[in-house]
Amino acid sequence: MNQYNVAIIGGGPGGYVAAIRSAQLGLKTVLIEEFKVGGTCLNIGCIPTKTLVKNAEILHDLKRAKERGIEVSQPKVNMPKAARMKDMVVNQLTGGVQFLLQKNGVTIINARARVVSDHALTAGGEEITFDNLIIATGSSNFIPPVPGMDDKDILTSTELLDIDHVPESLTIIGGGVIGCEFASIFNEFGCKVTIVEMMADIVPNMDRDISSALAFSMNQEGIAVKTGCKVTEVRKTGDSFDIIMEEGGEIKSVHSEEVLVSVGRKANTAGIESLELEYEKGYIKTDHHMRTSKEHIYAIGDVTGRIQLAHVASAQGVTAAENIAGKDAAMSYDLVPSCIFTIPEIGSVGMTEEQARKEGIQVIAKKFPYSACGKALAMGAPDGFVKIIADGETNKLLGCHIIGHTAAELISEAAAVMHFDGTVEDIDKTIHAHPTLSETVSEAALLALGRPIHTL
Ligand SMILES: Cc1cc2nc3c(=O)[nH]c(=O)nc-3n(C[C@H](O)[C@H](O)[C@H](O)COP(=O)(O)OP(=O)(O)OC[C@H]3O[C@@H](n4cnc5c(N)ncnc54)[C@H](O)[C@@H]3O)c2cc1C
């Protein structure tokens, strides 16, 4: 019988996690995915990019190996082999997700879903009826309406992941997270990279000290970072492009072999139009229980336009499934860690210094440099810092922003402390192993407490 307690459209980190949790809670669950389970994240997003980031890190280290007494001659990337490795990792993970879904008793339909009424959809010629629906259709690359930007040879992140050679030069339009990650990757691969960003800073949502430090580092590594530049046209000139931009009233241009457009994403809503849900700025409107404007229909992940990260999609998926099962689960977005896998890496959670000051809090903002950490020096990774934002009256940890080696791993400690409403004293009282990079977090806490040991 094709009647389900829960039907889920989209098998990304939102949809597949919601499906597993629904099944665990005893709900008869069907997941409909038109492409491959794992969605953008596993197939064309987080995982393939991070596999290439690792290649970039290896090259980065090899180029500096001589300083450590290791002789290596001319390391370079072999793109077809790098792509094979990336595809192997992706296939292993998507296969694992498929296995987990099956073992949890989720029915998987590999087809495009089209909702035909408030309680029915069609997929692969089957009609499916449901008590509850979770929309987890994700997002796709947004191409802005700029002359020439729709040229078929201009790349999005999806196509750049599959490129079979290292271009001589690459202009990246958009200095957000995805643009900056690709800039680090292709710069290490030997390509001349230019980032063009309209705002005054790259990764503008980060704490300002972090975005400035990233721009400085990228410039040092040879990436041209052009901020405050608005691209007005992209002209194809033979096999390459002229990117025309306006900077402070002046018209300038950059010439490059390839162009990547990474200026944002748009919600995938094909197949669900008939539901006539409420939207906000093109995304499905949801409450904290992940309910849409219709009681039995939920939306999760990128299609809600909240914070477009895989772990947010998954947390929203669990929330939706638990509410369907009769629990009272709610999402909170205050403590979502956000990481950028550039060289150097970034990890961030909680308030930035600017946000805390705007709220009128008596702010303590302190930075501990990696260069004062023994492990960082031993690793040859002295660039970076941990910035702690605390409440001057209560010492409560309000935010933590890290740039430097393995920042994305280190940020979890700050997230956990904040989850328990902890203070900078709590971080200090937690003994950190020596020598580790995690000591930079406890040293930053000591700085915030006004009693640093390994710095002044
Ligand atoms: C290059 C890149 C790098 C990224 N790196 C990171 C990172 O490092 N960390 C991080 O947290 N996030 C990262 N993200 C973001 C992350 O991939 C998304 O936030 C996440 O995938 C959103 O999950 P989702 O479940 O909402 O949607 P998606 O993962 O987009 O999955 C939606 C799925 O729905 C399917 N679908 C859509 N419509 C239908 C339909 N009608 N019928 C059937 N199936 C349908 C699609 O085929 C797709 O598989 C990255 C994104 C990109 C593009």
- 307-329 pLDDT per residue, tens: 999 999 999 999 999 999 999 99
- 427-440 pLDDT per residue, tens: 999 999 999 999 99
In this prediction, residues 99-125 reach a mean pLDDT of 97
Q: What is the 3-state secondary structure (H, E, C) of the chain?
A: CCEEEEEEECCCCCHHHHHHHHHHCCCCEEEECCCCCCHHHHHHCHHHHHHHHHHHHHHHHHHCHHHHCCCCCCCCCCHHHHHHHHHHHHHHHHHHHHHHHHHCCCEEECCCEEEEECCEEEECCEEEEEEEEEECCCEEECCCCCCCCCCCCCECHHHHCCCCCCCCEEEEECCCHHHHHHHHHHHHCCCEEEEECCCCCCCCCCCHHHHHHHHHHHHHCCCEEECCEEEEEEEEECCEEEEEEEECCEEEEEEECEEEECCCEEECCCCCHHHCCCEECCEECCCCCCECCCCCEEECHHHHCCCCCHHHHHHHHHHHHHHHCCCCCCCCCCCCCEEECCCCCEEEEECCHHHHHHCCCCEEEEEEEHHHCHHHHHHCCCCCEEEEEEECCCCEEEEEEEECCCHHHHHHHHHHHHHCCCEHHHHHHCCCCCCCCCHHHHHHHHHHCCCCCCCC
In this prediction, residues 335-356 reach a mean pLDDT of 97
Closest residue by Cα to atom 49, ligand 1, is 39
Closest residue by Cα to atom 6, ligand 1, is 46
Which atom of ligand 1 is found nearest the CA of 302?
26
- 156-185 pLDDT per residue, tens: 999 999 999 999 999 999 999 999 999 999
- 198-247 pLDDT per residue, tens: 999 999 999 999 999 999 999 999 999 999 999 999 999 999 999 999 99
Predicted confidence (pLDDT) at residue 4 exceeds the cutoff of 80? yes
Q: pTM of the predicted model, to two decimals?
A: 0.97
CA of 12 to the centre of ligand 1 (A): 5
In this prediction, residues 333-342 reach a mean pLDDT of 97
Closest residue by Cα to atom 37, ligand 1, is 137
In this prediction, residues 99-119 reach a mean pLDDT of 98
In this prediction, residues 265-278 reach a mean pLDDT of 96
- 55-76 pLDDT per residue, tens: 999 999 999 999 999 999 999 9
In this prediction, residues 355-363 reach a mean pLDDT of 97
Question: Active-site residue numbers?
Answer: 434
Return the pLDDT at 1: 59
Six token digits for residue 103: 């073992």
Predicted confidence (pLDDT) at residue 395 exceeds the cutoff of 90? yes
pLDDT band at 93 (very low <50, low <70, confident <90, very high): very high
Which atom of ligand 1 is found nearest the CA of 16?
25
Which atom of ligand 1 is found nearest the CA of 50?
8
CA of 13 to the centre of ligand 1 (A): 7
Q: Residue 136's closest CA among 292, 26, 27?
A: 292
